[in-house]
Amino acid sequence: KQEVTQIPAALSVPEGENLVLNCSFTDSAIYNLQWFRQDPGKGLTSLLLIQSSQREQTSGRLNASLDKSSGRSTLYIAASQPGDSATYLCAVRPNQAGTALIFGKGTTLSVSS
């Protein structure tokens, strides 16, 4: 059974720091991996999606990497800002068919000004 773990559960950093959020999964047979952001009381916003054949994806100050063989992904946030404060969720899609995403419990990030 696929399990997704995110470390750390919470992280506090001062504004301007670069930081890394970690995601690990137990079964390397995945179709893709998505990183989401969730603000308090809100739904999920997709940040980056990495296909199983890809190594990384970039969007602005965000960079996500994928090492499928070791069951790991990282989300790198450059020059963090208070507006980056949110919960970041990692989710894997097991296969191409219409299967549901399997989520980690998230990392809650707080960036202080």
Partner 1 sequence: GAGVSQSPSNKVTEKGKDVELRCDPISGHTALYWYRQSLGQGLEFLIYFQGNSAPDKSGLPSDRFSAERTGGSVSTLTIQRTQQEDSAVYLCASSNSGGASYEQYFGPGTRLTVT
To partner 1, the closest distance from the beta carbon of 36 in angstroms equals 8
Closer CB to partner 1, 23 or 80, in the complex = 23
Q: Binding segment for partner 1 among 15-23, 36-44, 64-72, 73-81 (CB under 8 A)?
A: 36-44
In this complex, which beta carbon is closest to partner 1, that of residue 36 or of residue 111?
A: 36
Question: What b/e string do you get for 44-78 counting C-beta neighbours within 10 Å, with b at 16 or more?
Answer: eeebbbbebeeeebeeeebbbbbebeebebbbebe
Using CA atoms, how far apart are residues 60 and 81, in angstroms rounded to an integer?
13
Stretch 64-93 residues interacting with partner 1 (CB under 8 A): 89, 91, 93
Nearest to 64 by CA among 98, 91, 28, 38: 91
- Piece in contact with partner 1 (CB under 8 A), picked from 22-30, 38-46, 58-66, 69-77: 38-46
Distance of closest approach, residue 76 Cβ to partner 1, in angstroms: 20
